[in-house]
């Protein structure tokens, strides 16, 4: 469905399941297809392509506040007063902003490897950030077949299973019909800067909150985005935060894009829905 927002329409996919609806917010370079593995567990999802991505790629603008305002428009369009919200990676920061500024619209919050300050962000500079985003920005300059694009993604991240049909669907959705990336470079840069150099308002949360985090960041053995000790620190500092859940044997994307990770994330979402 199309939802009117500032500047145009946001594309939103509805997954009918066995639960109350959950607003599911994807990460900085992801799309609504990120949540297909969780939807397979019977969770009813409202999954938008955020502006600048997928079928909403023509919408410009960014920042966590802008995306959160868009999410309010989505809830309004569906006549939903209050829902459980799940946010993965950057989507977690959007979800935090939404819950802090509009606590009446969020009955519970599930943050998946995002939403809290990442220690690695403290080491970031504009130069490092630009270098980190350079491959994605460069990929926008050429055309791809789905097979070519999937092969490159599997080479970069060994945890990706190219034989998984949902993986193929996910990366195929990254491409326009003519083979370009459905990703706004301007919005990617704006959003990433906001996440890295901005301030998460997690300490202002008042809604029941769950936190799921991965053992690794980018493949086996890599340092995690959040260590168990850091997760415990968030738990001690935030009264509304439940006991954090560590998913062993998966990396950042694997929290939702693998069968094992999605099973745990879906279980936590189901708990938040109770």
In the structure, what pLDDT confidence band is assigned to residue 181 with cuts at 50, 70 and 90? very high
Give the pLDDT of residue 123.
86
The predicted structure's pLDDT at residue 124: 87
SS (H, E, C) the chain: CEEEECCEEEEEEEECCCCCCEEEECCCCCCHHHHHHHHCCCCCEEEECCCCEHHHCCCCCCCHHHHHHHHHHHHHHCCCCCEEEEEECHHHHHHHHHHHHCHHHEEEEEEECCCCCCHHHHHCCHHHHHHHHHHHHHHCCCCCCHHHHHHHHHHHCCCCCCCCHHHHHHHHHCECCCCCECECHHHHHHHHHHHHHCCCCHHHCCCCEEEEEECCCCCCCCCCCCCHHHHHHHHHHCCCECCCEEECCCCCCHHHHCHHHHHHHHHHHHHHHC
Looking at per-residue confidence, does 65 or 130 come out higher? Answer: 65
pLDDT of residue 129: 87
Domain that holds residue 263: 2-273
How high does pLDDT run on average in the chain? Answer: 95
pLDDT above 90: residue 223: yes
Please report the pLDDT score of residue 137 as a whole number.
Answer: 86
CATH number for 157 = 3.40.50.1820
Backbone angles phi, psi at 69, to 5 degrees: -60, -40
According to the model, what pLDDT value does residue 155 have?
Answer: 86
- What is the tally of structural domains in the chain? 1
Evaluate if residue 19 carries a pLDDT over 80.
Answer: yes
pLDDT (0 to 100) of residue 158: 76
Q: Could you give the percent of the chain with pLDDT greater than 70?
A: 100
pLDDT at 120: 85
Confidence band (pLDDT; 50, 70, 90) for 10? very high
pLDDT per position as a tens digit, 54-93: 999 999 888 999 999 999 999 999 999 999 999 999 999 9
Position 132 pLDDT exceeds 90: no
pLDDT of residue 130: 87
* Model pTM above 0.85: yes
Average pLDDT over residues 157-169: 88
What pLDDT, on the 0 to 100 scale, is given for residue 101? 98
């Amino acid at each position: 469905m199309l939802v009117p927002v500032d500047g145009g329409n946001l594309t939103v996919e509805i997954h009918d399941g066995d639960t109350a609806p959950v607003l599911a917010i994807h990460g900085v370079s992801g799309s609504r297809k990120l949540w297909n593995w969780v939807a397979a567990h019977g969770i009813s999802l409202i999954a938008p392509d955020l502006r600048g991505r997928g079928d909403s790629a023509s919408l410009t603008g960014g920042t966590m506040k802008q995306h959160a305002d868009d999410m309010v428009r989505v809830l309004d369009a569906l006549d939903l007063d209050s829902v459980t919200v799940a946010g993965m990676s950057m989507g977690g920061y959007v979800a935090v902003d939404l819950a802090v500024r509009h606590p009446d619209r969020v009955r519970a919050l599930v943050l998946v490897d995002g939403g809290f300050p990442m220690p690695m962000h403290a080491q970031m500079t504009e130069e490092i950030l630009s270098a980190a985003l350079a491959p994605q920005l460069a990929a926008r300059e050429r055309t791809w077949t789905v097979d070519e694009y999937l092969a490159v993604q599997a080479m970069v991240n060994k945890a990706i299973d190219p034989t998984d049909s949902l993986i193929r669907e996910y990366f195929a959705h990254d491409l326009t019909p003519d083979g370009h990336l459905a990703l706004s470079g301007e919005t990617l840069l704006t959003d990433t800067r906001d996440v890295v150099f901005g301030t998460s308002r997690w300490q202002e949360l008042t809604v029941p909150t769950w936190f799921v985090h991965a053992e690794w960041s980018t493949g086996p053995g890599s340092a995690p985005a959040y260590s168990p000790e850091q997760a415990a620190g968030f738990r001690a500092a935030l009264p509304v935060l439940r006991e954090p859940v560590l998913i062993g044997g998966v990396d950042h994307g694997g929290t939702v894009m693998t069968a094992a990770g999605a099973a745990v994330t879906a279980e936590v979402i189901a708990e938040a829905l109770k």
